[in-house]
Amino acid sequence: MTTTSIPAPQALERRLGPFDAAAIIVANVIGGGILFRSPAVAAAVPDALWFLLSWLAGGVLAFMGAMAYAELAALRPKAGGEYVYLREAYGGLAGFLTGWTSFVAGFSGAMAASAVFLITTLDRFVPGIANETPLFALPVSFTPIVFTVSRHTLAASAVIAVAAFIHIRGVGPGRIASNVLTTLKITAFVVFIAFGLTAGTGNTSNLTQSAGPVRFTGWLFAFIPVMFTYSGWNAAAYMAEEIRDPGRNVPRALLLGTAIVTAIYLLINVLYLYVIPIGDLARVQGSVLDVVAEGLLGERAGNIMAVVAIVSLAAGINAWTFAGPRVYFAMARDNAFFKSAGRVHPRYKTPAASIVAQAAFAIVLVLIGSLDSIANYVGFSITLFAGAAVASVFVLRAREPNAPRPFKAVGYPVTPAIFVIVSAAIVLNALYSDPRVTGLGALIILAGIPLYYFFSRRG
């Protein structure tokens, strides 16, 4: 008699604890955004108090979202984050569109932008590495797209490739890289904030200055770069299938990670204003942290903080390489993506094909450029789908009232309702205030619809 062997389901290993997951959140969030996006917020909100309120409100909003995600992750402790929640609440198409957006912009776009900023900062120590003079350019016929190969884009692409290599080799190397980079980053930020606020070289009157009127639409629009900078607060939800005892540890990681990030963001922006008046902050080019360090201690301090910026950016790229591929892995298991993306590496137990695919697309974005538009689009899409995911708490509570919930969102139904309402206001205001970028972003999201039906028919 012969027997037919049935392949085991493709599953990931639970090797992460709550502090590992919290470190992934902190590394996901504190990347290039806090170094480069504050001037955009200052330009939209040219008043110091309203500027700080924007960052505090962003943290509170992220915390409300984190509580809802914690309930969802405990209810559905699977890889994929909001892909899983939207699929369960609204159907396969909604889930696919958030996964598609994560692939083309959410994670890949953040990685591309951070890699480019990292090389820009590294040019301080390796002159010429950020040279943007094209070695050659390849225009795409009948489109405005041009692939530009330069020293800058080659170096940025190499950073992305190295991060992918580390994570293909296993959860262990990825976890070590994440914990080390995150520890270095937090320590550096805390020390610098403490020194900067006590050095006496700033001006406390900057914290109450105004450089122009604050309009409600401008304040709402400021949430685009703010939420882009906070993006990643939900990272532990993507890793739920690899976290031990997810019903307890995912909520802990989400809440702890979000609290740490909010405190650091608020304090670092206080320091920015302490050294640079709000009107001048709006005109800063490049890394704000670099400018502030030079204002405090001169050029040598600028070099030191440039190293901190490089570590911070590297940590963000590492974390996005960790979290993003789990979304495409989950989609592929549901026959909603290429089948190869759902395979686990037989030796390293990682979604290797998904990691490679995300890195390759991020490199494509580096070569195309226009990363300011990508940053705005990422903030817009993150806000849209995070709001939809938090709204799924209401749907699943109504549909599955007796399902076991190891964690329930604190303040329900008020806190998730506030998150959903504010997210909707941000999205609508972004479409009104910057219809070119956000309208293009909406078209890219909708472009996923025919792909969904392609994969559905194949599945």
Kindly state the percentage of the chain with pLDDT values over 90: 34
CB 29 within 8 A of CB 111: no
Of the two residues 85 and 383, the one the predictor is more confident about is 85
Q: Give the pLDDT score at 8.
A: 43
Homologous superfamily (CATH) for 18-458? Amino acid/polyamine transporter I (1.20.1740.10)
- State percent of the chain over pLDDT 70: 93
Instruction: Round to whole Å and give the CA distance between 387 and 392.
Output: 9
Going by pLDDT thresholds of 50, 70 and 90, the confidence category of residue 199 is confident
Least confident of 334-338, 369-373, 410-414: 369-373
291-322 exposure pattern, b = at least 16 Cβ within 10 A, e = fewer: bbbbbbbeeebbeebbebbbbbbbbbbbbbbb
pLDDT digits (tens, 9 = 90+) for 82-113: 899 999 999 999 999 999 988 987 788 888 88
| Per-residue pLDDT tens digits for 55-78 | 999 999 899 999 899 899 889 888
d(CA 53, CA 31): 21
- The model's pLDDT over 258-299, given as tens digits with 9 standing for 90+, comes to 999 999 999 999 999 999 999 999 998 877 877 888 777 776
Q: What is the pLDDT of residues 127-171, one digit of tens each?
A: 999 998 888 888 877 667 788 899 999 999 999 999 999 999 888
**Domain limits, the chain:** 18-458
State the pLDDT at residue 9: 45
CB distance 7 to 339 below 8 Å = no
What pLDDT is recorded for position 305?
A: 74
Instruction: Answer for the pair 227, 262: CB distance below 8 angstroms, yes or no.
Output: no
pLDDT of amino acid 5: 40
How much is the mean pLDDT over the chain? 86
Token duo for residue 23:
């470190």
399 or 313: which carries more pLDDT confidence? 399
Return d(Cα 274, Cα 197) in angstroms, integer: 8
* Residue 377 pLDDT level (bands cut at 50, 70, 90): low
Q: Which of 382, 23, 392, 89 is nearest to 236 (CA)?
A: 23
User: Over 80: is that where the pLDDT of 181 sits?
Assistant: yes
